[in-house]
């Protein structure tokens, strides 16, 4: 067996992602990006603590980026090299367990998305600008990191780019400084955040405050789409009001921003405090409202409460999908029960070869994970009643706020909201390939 295959693995779904021996608490990125030539350069300062005595360690970094300088606690390491999506660092002296570690890395290159079984992921050029779609392992396409979902940290992103462009990253905009045709933007994301949820959006955009209905909501988009946006995304304040009522307080202090790119996108995507849609989702028809609800719900389910490993992804997608049904019900359109019956019928006529609690890497973004996850929650809601169900959701988002979870965490918490065992429900919906009757486990 090769050394590569015999190395320990953090997550079998992404065996090459993630690293051992340390835990990062903060990333500070100081970058410059030239859009015309797709050139990214700058530095990363990574604050971490060692979890074991280490002499060597690795960071995830795409092969398209080259490293010109490395320091660890202000000293040059004995050796460093990049290979196969990793930056390998060998220290001159061992660091003991529990030691503070500050890693400085200067790097540059022409970034491109990482090729994955789920398509191109990460840093991607648009017609005019850039988007970063990091899920599940695209963060390494633009900065060195420990790229797995349980590795949460705070972030400071400083990005300089040509002045006609608007640059958006996660968190609070601390400053915006134009100089000599370039503008430097500085953002601070203080809440612990998974690397895949850190994003960079660059385009010929303008920013607008939409509402402050308890939570500030912003739009970043091309001016040509403002009229359509006002219609298509106009009910977001009501959506935010409903979700804070059902799921608990919005988990971020800096509000919520929706980006609409000038290009079409196949699917929208979530980032911490940000959702990204394509121009095709903003056409004046309001057809994307289901997706708007889905991406907003991810701020609770996925972004704040995040899976430790990707096998548990139903805790993201099933919950966000169920939020779509709850919004529809709230609007007097199809009820959650009607949606459940609709998708249950479809699932019964789909292949029965997926275990929701462990769908496998090939199927982790399969639509059946989304819909079966939502159906599982609907069956649970019927079983324990609305009062207990929504109390459970609020407890879940509060107890595990900005934390990492596994399926058993949810099952354990749910048991506290039911007078009877839920074992048959979980067996039928989470651990069986068959699609049970809609009242299975009730």
Q: E strands of 180-264, at which residues?
A: 182-194, 200-203, 206-212, 216-221, 256-260
The pLDDT, as a whole number, for residue 8 is 84
For the chain, domains (ranges, CATH) are 3-108+139-190 (2.60.40.1730), 206-299 (3.30.2010.30), 307-429 (1.10.390.10)
Non-local CB neighbours of 436 within 8 Å, separated by 6+ positions = 428, 429
- SS3 label, residue 250: coil
Non-local CB neighbours of 308 within 8 Å, separated by 6+ positions = 149, 150, 404, 405, 406
For the entire predicted model, the pTM comes to: 0.96
The pLDDT, as a whole number, for residue 302 is 98
DSSP one-letter code for 420: S
Burial letters 396-410, b for 16+ CB under 10 A, else e: bbeebebebbbbebb
- In the chain (442 residues long), the average pLDDT of successive 10-residue segments reads 60 97 98 98 98 98 98 98 98 98 98 96 98 98 98 98 98 97 98 98 96 89 97 96 98 97 96 98 97 98 98 98 98 98 98 97 97 98 98 98 98 98 98 90 47
Query: Which residue is listed with tokens 């503008």?
Result: 183
The two three-digit tokens of residue 128, written as one number? 């005019």
The pLDDT, as a whole number, for residue 6 is 53
- SS3 label, residue 24: strand
The pLDDT, as a whole number, for residue 212 is 74
């Amino acid at each position: 067996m090769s050394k590569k295959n015999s190395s320990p693995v953090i997550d079998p779904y992404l065996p090459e992602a993630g690293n051992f021996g340390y835990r990062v608490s903060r990333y500070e990125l100081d970058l410059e990006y030239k859009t015309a030539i797709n050139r990214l350069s700058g530095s990363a300062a990574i604050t971490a603590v060692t979890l074991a005595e280490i002499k060597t360690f690795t960071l995830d970094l795409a092969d398209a980026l080259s490293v010109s300088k490395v320091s660890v606690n202000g000293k040059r390491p004995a050796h460093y090299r990049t290979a196969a999506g990793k930056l390998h660092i060998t220290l001159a002296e061992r660091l003991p367990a529990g030691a503070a570690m500050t890693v400085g890395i200067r790097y540059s290159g022409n970034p491109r998305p990482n090729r994955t079984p789920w398509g191109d992921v990460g840093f991607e050029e648009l017609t005019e600008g850039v988007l970063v779609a990091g899920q599940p392992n695209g963060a390494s396409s633009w900065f060195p990191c420990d790229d797995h979902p349980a590795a949460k940290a705070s972030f400071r992103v400083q990005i300089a780019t040509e002045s006609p462009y608007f640059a958006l990253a996660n968190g609070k905009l601390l400053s915006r400084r134009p100089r000599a045709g370039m503008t430097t933007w500085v953002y601070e994301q203080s809440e612990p955040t998974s690397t895949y949820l850190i994003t960079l959006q660059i385009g010929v955009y303008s920013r607008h405050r939409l509402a402050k209905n308890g939570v500030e909501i912003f739009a970043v988009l091309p001016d040509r789409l403002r009229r359509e946006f006002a219609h298509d995304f106009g009910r977001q304040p009501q959506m935010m009001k409903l979700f804070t009522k059902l799921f608990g307080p919005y988990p971020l202090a800096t509000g919520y921003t929706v980006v609409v790119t000038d290009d079409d996108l196949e699917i929208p995507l979530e980032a911490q405090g940000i959702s990204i849609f394509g121009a095709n989702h903003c056409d004046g028809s309001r057809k994307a409202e289901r997706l708007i609800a889905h991406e907003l719900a991810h701020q609770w389910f996925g972004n704040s409460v995040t899976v430790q490993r990707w096998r548990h992804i139903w805790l993201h997608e099933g919950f966000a999908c169920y939020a779509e049904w709850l919004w529809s019900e709230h609007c007097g359109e199809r009820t959650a029960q009607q949606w459940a019956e609709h998708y249950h019928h479809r699932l019964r006529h789909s292949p029965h070869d997926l275990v929701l609690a462990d769908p496998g890497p090939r199927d982790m973004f399969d639509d059946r994970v989304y819909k079966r996850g939502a159906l599982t929650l609907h069956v649970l809601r019927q079983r324990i009643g609305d009062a207990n169900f929504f109390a459970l959701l609020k407890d879940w988002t509060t107890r595990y706020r900005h934390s990492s979870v596994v399926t058993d965490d949810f099952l354990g918490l749910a048991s506290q909201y039911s007078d009877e065992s839920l074992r048959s429900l979980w067996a039928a919906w989470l651990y069986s390939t068959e699609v049970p009757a809609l009242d299975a486990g009730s």
